[in-house]
Amino acid sequence: MNRFIKVLLLGFSVLLVQPAAASDVEDLTDLLQDFLANSGKEAAHERFWADDLVYSSSAGLRFGKADIMSGFDSTSDEENDAPPEIVYSGEDVDVRLYGDTAVVAFKLVGTPTNEGAGASVMYYYNTGTFLKRDGIWKAVAWQATKIPPNE
């Protein structure tokens, strides 16, 4: 992946090609995987979502970070030790950098932890737009699409 920089040199416009920061790709991939592994914890959501988030859910709803955060009760992450009903992971992660903006697309896999309940694994296509503000990546837009079973 390359980053293009336009430079004005002695009145001539020159286009320079620089390798994109591999660390940004790694940082975003790590951020995503950490978020998915800790998605039941309030602190993970606080870190992941920007305050001005626009989230379009697979159920056709649109909401922001405040709505997500209001779903957590006053119990701290440490006090809530109950195992999650679903464990999330990401597959086929594709990170594309555009300066201080990034698009992250991946397949979200939701695996039920109680196999006896008869629930099946769920799959979603997710695409997030991230901005790097003050050196910190946060998701400002999110789109989730449920993948129908057998596809």
| Per-residue pLDDT tens digits of the chain, which is 151 residues long | 444 444 444 444 444 444 446 799 999 999 999 999 999 999 999 999 999 999 999 999 999 999 999 998 765 555 556 777 889 999 999 999 999 999 999 999 999 988 666 678 999 999 999 999 999 999 999 999 999 887 6
pLDDT score, position 131: 98
The pLDDT of residue 37: 94
Token pair of 114, please?
Answer: 């109680």
pLDDT at 78: 54
Which CATH number among 3.10.450.50, 1.10.580.10, 3.30.70.2660, 3.30.420.40 corresponds to the domain 21-146?
A: 3.10.450.50
Return the half-sphere exposure (C-beta side, CA atoms, 13 A cut-off) of residue 52. Answer: 5
Amino acid at 22: A
- Of 95, 90, 86, nearest to 40 by C-alpha is 86
* pLDDT of amino acid 113: 85
The domain limits of the chain are 21-146
Q: What is the pLDDT of residue 2?
A: 45
Q: What is the pLDDT of residue 147?
A: 95
- Inter-residue contact 142 to 67 (CB < 8 Å): no
pLDDT in the model for residue 1: 43
pTM: 0.79
